[in-house]
């Protein structure tokens, strides 16, 4: 399908993801009118100052009215209340989608409110940074990243293709997955790493035998890379933990077993075991670089690529 054009796109939530969408929609000319809605007047004012859209609303339904495409980009725990607020005005034939990091819970919260005739297609762009808010977004965020859809049974293939074409126009590769499978995959590739980072940075912060100034001064030894993940938005990550609980707990228990085995290998001086594991994991990083999902630079390219996708 060629580049889609929507008469009216409503962006509900204008933080990192919503404002990146606003910027790429404008750059690629994907909409005649972009209606922006968010909860707080302060965030809305900032979005207006940045010129992210064509109309600005704190009444979510006002933004969604007459929209052909509605994209919900709010913390996953707020998905239900947003769906409830906009459902009565959604027009037949409109596509309703979201960008939430968990899918089973978002579907359970939103689907019951969606009127017949509206195409609800849950989605998740695997693109982000540790920053949040409307200033943090940039049009390149989705370039060469994956956007995963978790369509419900009976989804209209034409609507799915239109939404896929939209995300491709934003620079993404698209894929579809069963929601449960999505939640398991994301638990290991995204949620667990963030939880480990929050934990290790929390532990360092609690240490009494090492001072905080030493932790910061010598952070480049490895700690610094965890602090980037651990700086991610607390509201978003609280919601992810609460809304993908089962898959996260399953991965955490597997992780704890493997950590205990690593601990044992260190205790008993099993150098071969350690060497084998570290060699296997090194190969994983090589595959990620070869897949174009990371750059091979000493600081992962983050200094040079300021403003580029980071996580």
**Shortest gap between Cβ of 41 and ligand NAP (angstroms)?**
8
Q: DSSP states of 142-156 as a string?
A: TTT-EEEE-PPTT--
Q: Is 32 helix (H, G, I), strand (E, B) or coil?
A: strand
Task: Tell me the two tokens of residue 142.
Answer: 């989705």
Stretch in the footprint of ligand NAP (CB under 6 A) among 76-84, 154-162, 167-175, 281-289: 76-84
Q: Which of 53, 122, 128, 179: binder of ligand NAP (CB under 6 A)?
A: 128
Q: Which of 22, 148, 236, 248: binder of ligand NAP (CB under 6 A)?
A: 236
> Is 183 an interacting residue with respect to ligand NAP (CB under 6 A)?
no
* Whether the Cβ atoms of residue 270 and residue 168 lie closer than 8 Å to each other: no
> Is 54 an interacting residue with respect to ligand NAP (CB under 6 A)?
no
> Is 82 an interacting residue with respect to ligand NAP (CB under 6 A)?
yes
Of the two residues 67 and 253, which places its CB atom closer to ligand NAP in the complex? Answer: 67
Q: Which of 97, 101, 164, 244: binder of ligand NAP (CB under 6 A)?
A: 101
Q: Which of 22, 34, 74, 83: binder of ligand NAP (CB under 6 A)?
A: 74
CA distance 276 to 50: 51
Q: Which of 105, 132, 172, 244: binder of ligand NAP (CB under 6 A)?
A: 132
> Is 172 an interacting residue with respect to ligand NAP (CB under 6 A)?
no
> Is 81 an interacting residue with respect to ligand NAP (CB under 6 A)?
yes
**Shortest gap between Cβ of 177 and ligand NAP (angstroms)?**
15
Strand partners, 55: 35
CA distance 124 to 97: 9
Inter-helix orientation angle 192-206/234-243, to 10°:
120
> Is 76 an interacting residue with respect to ligand NAP (CB under 6 A)?
yes
**Shortest gap between Cβ of 272 and ligand NAP (angstroms)?**
38
CA distance 57 to 40: 10
* Whether the Cβ atoms of residue 97 and residue 18 lie closer than 8 Å to each other: no
Of the two residues 176 and 273, which places its CB atom closer to ligand NAP in the complex? Answer: 176
**Shortest gap between Cβ of 96 and ligand NAP (angstroms)?**
15
**Shortest gap between Cβ of 135 and ligand NAP (angstroms)?**
9
Task: Tell me the two tokens of residue 304.
Answer: 């040079």
Q: How many residues does the chain have?
A: 311
Q: What's the first-to-final CA gap in the chain, in angstroms?
A: 29
Label residue 307 exposed, middle or buried (CB < 10 Å: 0-12, 13-18, 19+): exposed
Q: Which of 125, 171, 179, 309: binder of ligand NAP (CB under 6 A)?
A: 125
Instruction: Tell me, by CB under 6 A, how many residues bind ligand NAP.
Output: 30
Q: What mask of x and - would describe binding to ligand NAP in positions 8 to 47, judged by CB under 6 A?
A: -----xxxxxx-------------------xxx--x----
> Is 109 an interacting residue with respect to ligand NAP (CB under 6 A)?
no
- Write b or e for each residue in 239-264: b if 16 or more Cβ atoms lie within 10 A of its Cβ, otherwise e: bbbebbeebbeebeeeeeeeeeeeee
Q: DSSP states of 107-139 as a string?
A: HHHHGGGPPTT-EEE-EEE----S--STTS--T
**Shortest gap between Cβ of 100 and ligand NAP (angstroms)?**
4
Q: Tell me which residues touch ligand NAP (CB under 6 A).
A: 13-18, 38-40, 43, 73-76, 78, 81-82, 99-101, 124-125, 128-129, 132-133, 233, 236, 240, 311
């Amino acid at each position: 399908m060629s580049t889609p054009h929507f008469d009216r796109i409503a962006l509900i939530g204008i933080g990192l993801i919503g404002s990146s969408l606003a910027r790429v929609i404008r750059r690629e000319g994907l909409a005649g009118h972009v209606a922006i809605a968010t909860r707080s007047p302060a965030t809305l004012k900032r979005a207006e100052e940045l010129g992210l859209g064509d109309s600005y609303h704190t009444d979510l339904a006002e933004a969604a009215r007459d929209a052909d495409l509605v994209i919900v980009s709010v913390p996953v725990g707020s998905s239900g209340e947003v769906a409830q607020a906009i459902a009565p005005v959604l027009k037949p034939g409109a596509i309703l989608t979201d960008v939430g990091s968990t899918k089973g819970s978002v579907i359970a919260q939103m689907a019951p409110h969606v009127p017949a005739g509206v195409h609800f297609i849950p989605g998740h762009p695997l693109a982000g940074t540790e920053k949040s808010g409307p200033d943090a977004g940039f049009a390149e965020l989705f370039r060469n990243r994956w956007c995963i859809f978790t369509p419900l049974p009976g989804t209209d293939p034409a609507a799915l293709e239109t939404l896929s074409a939209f995300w491709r126009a934003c620079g993404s590769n698209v894929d579809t997955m069963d929601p449960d499978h999505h939640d398991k995959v994301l638990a290991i590739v995204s949620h667990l790493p963030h939880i480990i980072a929050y934990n290790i940075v929390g532990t360092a912060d609690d240490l009494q035998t090492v001072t905080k100034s030493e932790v910061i001064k010598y952070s480049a030894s490895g700690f610094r890379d965890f602090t980037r993940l651990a700086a991610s938005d607390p509201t978003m990550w609280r919601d992810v933990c609460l809304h993908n609980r089962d898959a996260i707990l399953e991965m955490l228990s597997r992780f704890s077993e493997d950590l205990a085995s690593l601990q044992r290998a260190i205790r008993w001086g099993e150098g071969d075991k350690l060497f084998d594991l570290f060699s296997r994991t090194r190969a994983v990083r090589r595959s990620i670089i070869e897949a174009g999902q990371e750059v091979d630079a000493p600081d992962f390219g983050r200094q040079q690529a300021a403003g580029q996708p980071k996580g």
